[in-house]
């Protein structure tokens, strides 16, 4: 498999990764926000097996788009207040323009959108500017870029992946025919029964990603599974949240285990390890 490279700017990505982390770990404090994600996403995009745009990607995208929308407005309003207090003549670039610039994505400037003098600018202008950005600039491209970066950071944190997949499992456990009358028929192909997805064979790209993330070792006992030290150690790809408990066929729900640990874990148990090999 050929390696692929992506250019990461990491502009505010750790900040967004932290928001995603807090939402997942403290989900009971943000129930409304988290459950809204499951309400607006189509069922297929949550249960279709092995999507490269994983369910976690979709959740990160949802968090980023919502957060940036609020921040773009709040920060611009604050900036306007300060500029007026300081007696400036011009507003300068607003926050969202800085974000675009950092990712080298062109955007329509606020100045071009609203060529008023500073004292005539109103807060509503920022709201309309944001709508204009959605229509005229590649704001989706911007969100996708930041989503990739946040995913890259988070994918290494198995405990966070476990917690996220447990949230998704809550949704899958509740899947039943009555709830999704209209689009259930076409999506029922993914279900073994109500509240449980079918086991689907794991594609090579998923195995490859998980193998390298877990450094070719069993996550639990750290046994080498690369085949260089011992040919007898068999590698198995385990669903962190088992399918029987609502786990999904998603790259974020897989970990590398040896045969023995996988057998000991058994079905119906959810755990991973928080032990990571040091860089040096
Ligand atoms: Zn093991």
**pLDDT of 214-265, one tens digit each?**
999 999 999 999 987 777 778 999 999 999 999 999 999 999 999 999 999 8
How far apart are the C-alpha atoms of 209 and 173, rounded to whole Å? 27
Query: DSSP letters of 168-232?
Result: HHHHHHT--TTTTHHHHHHHGGGEEETTEEPP-PPPHHHHHHHHHHTTTB-TTT--B-SSSS-SS
124 inside domain: yes
d(CA 216, ligand 1 centre) in Å: 11
| Average pLDDT over every residue of 163-182 | 83
Distance 166 CA to ligand 1 centre (A): 22
Domain that holds residue 146: 1-154
Ligand 1 centroid distance, CA of 163 (Å): 21
5: which DSSP letter?
-
pLDDT tens digit sequence for 34-51: 999 999 888 888 999 999
Residue 233 lies in a domain: no
Q: How confident is the model at residue 90 (pLDDT cuts 50, 70, 90)?
A: confident
Ligand 1 centroid to Cα of residue 197, in Å, is 26
Does the predicted model carry a pTM greater than 0.85? yes
* SS3 at position 273: coil
Q: Does 9 map to a domain?
A: yes
From CA 146, how far away is CA 10, in angstroms rounded?
8
* 225 Cα–ligand 1 center, Å: 9
Our count of domains for the chain comes to 1
Residue 264 domain-assigned (yes or no): no
φ/ψ of 148, rounded to 5, equals -60, -45
Taking the centre of ligand 1 as the mean of its atom positions, its distance from the CA of residue 264, in whole angstroms, is: 9
Q: What pLDDT shows up at residue 177? A: 63
* CA–centroid distance, residue 40 to ligand 1 (Å): 39
Contacts of 257 (CB under 8 A, 6+ apart): 218, 219, 220, 235, 236, 237, 238, 265
Q: What is the mean pLDDT of residues 117-136?
A: 91
Mean pLDDT over 109-136 rounds to 91
- Residue 45 sits at φ, ψ, to 5 deg, of -70, -15
More confident of the two residues 230 and 154: 154
| Domain assignment present for 30 | yes
d(CA 222, CA 236): 13
Tell me, in angstroms, the distance from the centre of ligand 1 to residue 235's CA.
9
Residue 67 located in a structural domain: yes
Any domain includes 91: yes
Q: How much distance in Å is there from the Cα of 226 to the middle of ligand 1? A: 13
The answer to whether residue 177 sits within a structural domain is no
CA of 95 to the centre of ligand 1 (A): 48
Task: Give the mean pLDDT of the chain.
Answer: 91
Per-residue pLDDT, 160: 97
What's the pLDDT at 75?
Answer: 93
pLDDT at 185: 64
């Amino acid at each position: 498999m050929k390696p692929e490279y992506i250019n990461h700017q990491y502009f505010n990505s750790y900040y967004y990764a932290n928001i995603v982390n807090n939402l997942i770990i403290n989900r009971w404090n943000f129930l409304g926000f988290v459950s809204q994600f499951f309400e607006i996403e189509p069922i297929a995009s949550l249960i279709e097996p092995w999507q490269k745009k994983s369910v976690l990607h979709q959740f990160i995208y949802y968090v980023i788009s919502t957060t940036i929308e609020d921040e773009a407005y709040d920060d611009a309003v604050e900036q306007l207040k300060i500029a007026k207090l300081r007696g400036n003549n011009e507003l300068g670039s607003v926050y969202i323009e800085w974000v675009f610039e950092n990712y080298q994505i062109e955007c329509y400037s606020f100045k071009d959108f609203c060529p008023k003098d500073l004292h005539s600018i109103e807060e509503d202008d920022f709201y309309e500017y944001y709508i204009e950005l959605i229509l005229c600039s590649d704001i989706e491209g911007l969100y996708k870029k930041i989503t990739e970066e946040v995913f890259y950071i988070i994918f290494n944190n198995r405990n966070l992946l476990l917690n996220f997949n447990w949230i998704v499992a809550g949704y899958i456990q509740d899947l039943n025919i009555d709830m999704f009358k209209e689009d259930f028929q076409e999506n029922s192909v993914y279900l073994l029964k109500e509240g449980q997805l079918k086991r689907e064979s794991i594609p090579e790209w998923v195995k490859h990603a998980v193998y390298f993330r877990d450094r070719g070792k069993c996550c639990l006992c750290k046994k080498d599974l690369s085949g260089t030290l011992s040919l007898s150690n068999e590698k198995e790809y385990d669903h962190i949240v088992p399918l029987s408990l609502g786990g999904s066929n998603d790259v974020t729900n897989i970990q590398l285990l040896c045969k023995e640990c996988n057998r000991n874990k058994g079905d119906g148990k959810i755990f991973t390890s928080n032990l990571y090999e040091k860089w040096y």
